[in-house]
């Protein structure tokens, strides 16, 4: 009986450590990626004067129609 309790506590501790470690890794990756991405977007906006998504848009817009029947 004591061995089962000991094993359960070890298992719960291992899961807790794993969850905390994964959360810390995810949090640190998210913060650095967001900051770098924002800085690159800001630099592109200042350099060209228009947002990158607008710069990538095609010059000529064509439309298409779809008919049912």
The predicted structure's pLDDT at residue 4: 79
Q: What is the pLDDT of residue 15?
A: 87
Q: Which residues of 44-55 are buried (b: 16+ CB within 10 A; e: fewer)?
A: eeeeeeeeeeee
What is the pLDDT, as a whole number, of residue 24? 81
pLDDT (tens digit, 9 = 90+) per residue, 31-65?
A: 445 666 677 767 766 766 777 788 788 888 888 88
Q: Which two tokens stand for residue 46?
A: 């200042």
- The answer to whether the predicted template modeling score (pTM) of the entire model surpasses 0.75 is no
49: left (phi > 0), else alpha (psi -120 to 50), else beta?
left
């Amino acid at each position: 009986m004591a061995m089962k309790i000991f094993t359960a506590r070890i298992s719960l501790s291992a899961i807790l450590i794993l969850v905390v470690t994964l959360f810390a890794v995810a949090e640190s990756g998210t913060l650095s990626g967001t900051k770098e991405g924002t800085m690159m977007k800001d630099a592109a906006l200042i350099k060209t004067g228009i947002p990158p998504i607008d710069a990538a848009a095609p010059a000529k817009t064509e439309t298409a129609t779809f008919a049912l029947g």
